[in-house]
Structure 1
């Protein structure tokens, strides 16, 4: 059997195992180990051991549990609730104002967290009940929360971009900067859509009652204080890193400490909050570790087969596809895989194949990291098995049915596809900021 067929068989076996419901790390690792032992005998076991040692020596990996801890601490301590109260007062007098405030809340939470799960939890448990109680359309509200929470994997400090940087050997600071403008552009497009939709159909996003709107200016100004702590945490964490004062790992530690101090200042650092935060942090961190370990083992076997060179030859030489056609096919494959995999699994499964192929086609790997992340956002919200769709169903009130969730994402997926096309056609939208800051 040729090496190309072995590589194809490995990939097909892995996808088949995951479609049967096996855990992602178990499917990836099992196929890698079986392939290594079958081709290289007992000596193949050293590939897995080497991958484990390489993982343990990855100093930047310390950032993952620290970023995750920071996000859960801010969420569990209720600081995000304070932010929503502020947006509720300041945007309630506009048609669709609370939906706009929810999108802005998601951007702020993303800047504090780096994951989409926390934003989804905050939006579904805090914002959605308030929006529904005030007569907002449940379909539009559901779409707003799903689209807004997806920004967590694009806006810095995105954990997904940290993982991409580790695997693609690209500087995380440049990846974070590359995600700023695309994230803000996408959030702005969401806001514009809500404004236009609510102007055409005012009943979808009614203004607040006069009793709720008529709040003294002094109280409105006092509510602005709710935004000071999150902004301070974001500056301490991201600002110090981009200024070169702290390293990536030190920056994540600053963010974790700052989030804990913020909860302490707010008098919300209880035993229960700390216990819930640590338990969730440990669970997510261990999941990431196992998936990355399995993927590195799989990648080493794949690389040993020469599969990357073979697929490059297939696409560019035998089939005669242009680099742009190959890139579009790669993005479509991400969307398909995203119907049943999360972003981390998608990245580590195809990284050994796609990243060297992108580099071989002379595309910028920083730019491609942004494309990958936006495609993950689209995949998260694409029926029938989008990751965010079922998270929303699990967290939403009973009155929000699955068909409502499916219907709600259509306009936002269209907006995301438009944003993806803009970034593909105009790479400088992602590359201008890191180029200006770092040069070259």
Structure 2
């Protein structure tokens, strides 16, 4: 049996196991371990064992639980809800202001948590009911929450980019800086779209009644303090990192400590809060660890078979595909896989194939793996929110108020999918949008 056939059987076996509903890390790890034993004999049992030590020797792994903990404690302590109240008062006089404020909220939540799921959860439970109560169009605001939550995987500290950096062996700091400008471009497009829709059809976005907003300046300033804590944590954490005073891991510890102190200052630090936050952090961190471990084991066997070189030979030499055609094919495969899998699962499945291939392509610029990481994250998020089976669509339905139907959710997302696709096109046409910052910033970690 040829190595190409073995590689194809491994990949097919993994896909079949995933369709049975098995946990992603279990399916990938089982195929990796089983293939190693069949190909190399009993000694191959050391393969997954060795990957454990490789995983634990990755110092940046310490950032994952820190950032996850920071996001959960800020959300669970009610700081995100206070922040939305501030945005409600300060943006309410603008037509479409609450929807714009929701985008700002999503940007800040992204900077606190690094996961799109957190943005959807907070937006659906805090922002949606408030905007519905004030007569906002339910299709428009549903799209705002889903589109805004997609910023969580681009704006630092993006947990997905941390995982990509570990698997692709790229500096996490450079990936963060690479995602920052595209993330802000997407946020700006979302805000411009909301303001344009509000201007063309004012009925979609009623202005908040004046009696709700007329309050003494002292009270407004008191509400403004709600925004100081998240901003202070973000700028203190990233500022020390950017200016070289802390490494990536030290920066994550600063953020986690600052979030804990914020909960104490707000008098919301309770035993229940720390218990729930710790359990959620442990669960999510362990899930990521198992996924990375399975990806490392699968990649080691896959690479040992020469599968990557075989695919490179097929695409470049036999089929004579251009580098940009190969990149587009990869993006399409992400969207197809996003129907069934989340972003981390997609990453651990395709990283052994795509990362080495992207490294060999001649795209005409350096730092191709950094650039590709940004494309990957945006494309995965498009897959998440694309009907009929987007992962985040059903999450949104489970969290949204009853009057928002699945059809409303489907209708709401298309303008944001188009804007995200435009962002991808811009990054492909002008790679420096993603690469200028990481090439000119010199940081530790």
Alignment TM-score, normalising by the size of structure 1: 0.98
Separation (CA, whole Å) in 1 of partners of 2:175 and 2:4 = 33
Q: 1:421 aligns with which of 418, 422, 425?
A: 425
Q: Deviations over 1:80-127 (max 9, x none)?
A: 111101110011111111000000000011011111111111101111
Separation (CA, whole Å) in 1 of partners of 2:428 and 2:84 = 34
Match of 1:220 in 2: 220
Match of 2:387 in 1: 383
Q: Deviations over 1:17-73 (max 9, x none)?
A: 112211101110111111111111112211111111211211211111111000000
Match of 1:294 in 2: 294
Residue 409 of structure 1 aligns to a residue in which SS?
Answer: helix
User: Do residues 430 (structure 1) and 415 (structure 2) align?
Assistant: no
User: Do residues 394 (structure 1) and 393 (structure 2) align?
Assistant: no
User: Do residues 86 (structure 1) and 86 (structure 2) align?
Assistant: yes
Alignment of 1:232-311 (within 5 A): 232-311=232-311
* C-alpha contact 2:68 2:281 (8 A) present in aligned 1: yes
Moved more, 224-233 or 302-311: 224-233
Q: Deviations over 1:123-159 (max 9, x none)?
A: 0111111011111111111111011111111000101
Deviation at 1:384, TM superposition (A): 1.8
Q: Deviations over 1:319-378 (max 9, x none)?
A: 010000000000110111111111111111111110110000045111111111111111
Alignment of 1:339-418 (within 5 A): 339-363=339-363, 364-418=368-422
Residue 236 of structure 2 aligns to a residue in which SS?
Answer: helix
Deviation at 1:219, TM superposition (A): 2.2
Separation (CA, whole Å) in 2 of partners of 1:8 and 1:438 = 41
User: Do residues 22 (structure 1) and 26 (structure 2) align?
Assistant: no
Separation (CA, whole Å) in 2 of partners of 1:119 and 1:70 = 14
Alignment of 1:36-185 (within 5 A): 36-185=36-185
User: Do residues 207 (structure 1) and 207 (structure 2) align?
Assistant: yes
- Which stretches in structure 1 are left out of the alignment for 5+ residues? none
Match of 1:338 in 2: 338
Match of 1:190 in 2: 190
Deviation at 1:423, TM superposition (A): 0.7
Deviation at 1:188, TM superposition (A): 0.5
Matched length: 439
Separation (CA, whole Å) in 1 of partners of 2:404 and 2:289 = 35
Give the RMSD, CA atoms, in angstroms.
Answer: 1.2
Deviation at 1:216, TM superposition (A): 2.7
Separation (CA, whole Å) in 1 of partners of 2:91 and 2:247 = 37
Deviation at 1:242, TM superposition (A): 1.5
Separation (CA, whole Å) in 2 of partners of 1:262 and 1:166 = 30
Separation (CA, whole Å) in 1 of partners of 2:319 and 2:114 = 39
* C-alpha contact 2:167 2:292 (8 A) present in aligned 1: no
Moved more, 105-114 or 270-279: 270-279
Residue 53 of structure 2 aligns to a residue in which SS?
Answer: helix
Separation (CA, whole Å) in 2 of partners of 1:200 and 1:215 = 30
Residue 144 of structure 1 aligns to a residue in which SS?
Answer: helix
Separation (CA, whole Å) in 2 of partners of 1:168 and 1:21 = 27
Residue 430 of structure 1 aligns to a residue in which SS?
Answer: helix
Q: Deviations over 1:161-211 (max 9, x none)?
A: 111111111111111111111000000000111111111111111110121
Could you list the runs of 4 or more consecutive aligned residues of structure 1 that deviate by over 3 angstroms after TM superposition?
Answer: none
Deviation at 1:269, TM superposition (A): 0.5
* C-alpha contact 2:143 2:413 (8 A) present in aligned 1: yes
Match of 1:3 in 2: 3
Moved more, 17-26 or 67-76: 17-26
Moved more, 195-204 or 315-324: 195-204
Deviation at 1:236, TM superposition (A): 2.1
Separation (CA, whole Å) in 2 of partners of 1:302 and 1:366 = 23
User: Do residues 230 (structure 1) and 230 (structure 2) align?
Assistant: yes
